[in-house]
Structure 1
Amino acid sequence: MTTIGIVGAGAAAAAATHVLDSAVPDAEVTVLEKSGGLCGRAATRRNDDRDLVYDYGANYLRSDDERVVDLVTEVLDDEGMVEVTEPIYTFEESGEVSPGRDADGHKWSYRKGLTQIAKRLFGETDATVHRRTRVETIRRAGGGGSDRDDAWTLVDTDGDSWGPFDVLLVNPPAPQTADLLADAEWESPARESLRAAAADVPYRTVWTAVLHYSFALDRPYYGLVNTDKQHEVGWISREECKAGHVPDGESLLVVQAGGDWSAERYDADPADNVAELAGHAAEIVGDDRLLDPDWTDHQGWRYAIPEGELDRDPVDGEDPVDAAAREGLYVLGDWIAGEGRLHAALANGLDVGERVAEEE
């Protein structure tokens, strides 16, 4: 029996697990997730008192990869899938809104939110997912009670060991993966080359405000994106455009600050941040009523979106990702794909799952 350990329950890990469940049917898969949720930055919250569902990280799934489209529309049950039909407009540093930033294709979520993707992918497998279990140490060469010299074990922040594993998949954002590799008990040139490559991937920080209003906002667009990246706000979207997310006659805005503002204000008073982003939203959308939401939520993402590609130039003649994979450690996620999009993470997870199946 093949044993597989996975660090992180993001979209890529969910897709890889789904592949492995069928391609390596005798595999025993254990997933350790530091948070209480699934699907990484494709995150959903509910407010049952107000009957709200909202995607406050990734906003929707684009239909930009045929394999991913087939996965969510044919392989998985598409019950509850909803499509945003309203377009995406743009704005620049001045705040002036213009139409015309909407590529062909679908913008999908679910009535219960984007986390349904990972929940359904994991749910169709025999994988065991342990939430609120933060991995602190990656260990190679025995450990966890194993006398094998090539086994992987994981140690969490409570000091508990997991494993041994024949194969290890690592799904956190590049900076967090680099930190894990820096402290890993793994004596191999592959560890340092992969750590250095992961540490060099630039990331954008995003601080998000969620703003509810008891009135309907009449606008022809679903979302507004800042194209020149010079405004304090990077994105505004209307969750009421997703069926089942917001009661009729109400509005729920997801306002995501730009990278510079988010980094500077990440540890500031959340109430002050929410008030400031509400002010920006009111000015951009052109409605002073948005200054006074009747309910709010917020979330910061220190490592939200990769803004550059992983340097896969050979070190000592070998790609650092391939060098690690040769020893049984695979990294996966949108940062490997080089595109901070949900469909890119899912596609990379499919690729990694297929690679592990072939090599095992």
Structure 2
Amino acid sequence: MTDVGIVGAGAGAAAAAFVIDRTVPDADVTVVEKSGGLCGRAATRRHEDLTYDYGANYLKSDDDRVVELITETLDDEGLVDASEPVYTFDADGAVSPGRDADEHKWSYRRGLTQIAKRLFGRTDATVHRRTRVETVRRVDGTGATDGDDAAEDGRWELDDADGATHGPFDALLMNPPAPQTADLLRTAEWDDPLRETLVEAVGAVEYGSVWTAVLHYPFALDVPYYALVNTDKEHAVGWISREECKAGHVPDGETLLIVQASDAWSAAHYDDDPAENVAALAEHTADILDDERLADPAWTDHQGWRYALPEGGVDAGPIDSARDAGLYLLGDWVAGEGRLHAALANGLDVGERVAYGI
């Protein structure tokens, strides 16, 4: 196996590409990513002298292989740890200590996207950004579609929105969120009964939405925690974190809050006017932190994540069967846990399966 195609450049895809490149030196890896960035929802932006992780907030140390990857295999220069605890708040906005844990809360001085950038940077993979895949196609060795008497050892091709074709590939890895992966498989030119079974399994994965406000203030907050999480899931806000707790992200004497709305609030207001959403979340933040100054941020940003967090796993049977056709699905939703470390661990697993033909 020498030609590998990957749809999506999330953390799982980056980890898989890294393993394949190290294990199969002659592999030719091509990545097609619809956005201009890398690392999926582990996203970073910069504004003047501010750096902020506005999707996934940090990487937990919950998987030994991921810890070794981040701290030993890759260069750990610029790795930072938010050491302050995570507190909780309830439906009434009452803040309490109590959800601190021993795991690390890692990012980088230049943000979480460094994970994918460093992984891809250690490979010879070709990454096509701003390239949207429209068609997935199974072909035989002569280029015929799978429905035209294709051989069992068929390969994969991708057509993008600009009319270009990528491939053929011996193995195809698909890293988008489950609903987007299901859409691509639903219209795939792949004449195999497994396709319908796979679409049904992948399409059944439910997701929670997250609408995020980024709030900047020209003053520091005197609080003992890195973040607040709503544990009863009855508040409009689900999460508030302080980017100034990550070295290099925020100048001294300033505050930058990442405020993520709850799934219910996000779904109800997803298509509302962004300025109104930001203002509403700033008001909620001021109430929770009991600081009226927070209702009037000096500068704001925002982002909606329609497919933010998978709410369950996926039936592994069809996914395992798809590997016989050289099709591999990966991501946090395959791992069954909407966490960055889970996406990376799943990517390592998939990379090994591809490399060793498992």
Q: TM-score range by the shorter chain?
A: over 0.9
1:219 alignment partner, one of 215, 223, 227: 223
Q: What do residues 129-178 of structure 1 show as CA deviations (whole Å, max 9, x unaligned)?
A: 01000111100024995797401000111121110101000000001101
In 2, are the aligned partners of 1:144 and 1:164 still within 8 Å (CA)? no
Instruction: Name the structure 2 match of 1:353.
Output: 351
Instruction: Name the structure 1 match of 2:11.
Output: 11
Instruction: Name the structure 2 match of 1:110.
Output: 108
* Pairwise CA distance, 1:286: 1.0
The residue type paired with residue 68 of structure 1 is V
The residue type paired with residue 217 of structure 1 is L
Provide TM-score, normalisation by structure 1: 0.96
Q: What do residues 210-233 of structure 1 show as CA deviations (whole Å, max 9, x unaligned)?
A: 000000011100000011111100
SS at match of 2:313: coil
Matched, 1:191 2:189: no
Q: What do residues 201-249 of structure 1 show as CA deviations (whole Å, max 9, x unaligned)?
A: 1100000000000000111000000111111000000000000000000
Instruction: Name the structure 1 match of 2:284.
Output: 280
Identity over aligned pairs, percent: 72
CA RMSD in angstroms comes to: 1.3
Distance 1:92 1:104 in 2: 22
Distance 1:179 1:2 in 2: 27
Instruction: Name the structure 2 match of 1:135.
Output: 133
In 2, are the aligned partners of 1:146 and 1:164 still within 8 Å (CA)? no
The 5 A counterparts of 1:1-360 are: 2-48=2-48, 51-142=49-140, 149=151, 150-312=154-316, 319-359=317-357
Structure 2 spans left out of the alignment, 5+ residues: none
Distance 1:179 1:281 in 2: 37
Structure 1 spans left out of the alignment, 5+ residues: 313-318
Q: What do residues 293-335 of structure 1 show as CA deviations (whole Å, max 9, x unaligned)?
A: 01000000000000111123xxxxxx10111111000000000
Provide TM-score, normalisation by structure 2: 0.96
* Pairwise CA distance, 1:17: 0.4
In 2, are the aligned partners of 1:14 and 1:118 still within 8 Å (CA)? yes
Q: What do residues 179-215 of structure 1 show as CA deviations (whole Å, max 9, x unaligned)?
A: 1111111111221111111111110000000000000
Instruction: Name the structure 2 match of 1:316.
Output: none
Q: Are residues 293 and 220 of structure 1, via their aligned partners in 2, closer, same or farther at CA, if it must alter by over 3 Å? A: same
In 2, are the aligned partners of 1:212 and 1:293 still within 8 Å (CA)? yes
* Pairwise CA distance, 1:36: 0.4
SS at match of 1:30: strand
The residue type paired with residue 210 of structure 2 is V
* Pairwise CA distance, 1:37: 0.3
Instruction: Name the structure 2 match of 1:315.
Output: none
Q: What do residues 80-105 of structure 1 show as CA deviations (whole Å, max 9, x unaligned)?
A: 00000100000111110110102211
The residue type paired with residue 228 of structure 1 is D
Distance 1:249 1:144 in 2: 64
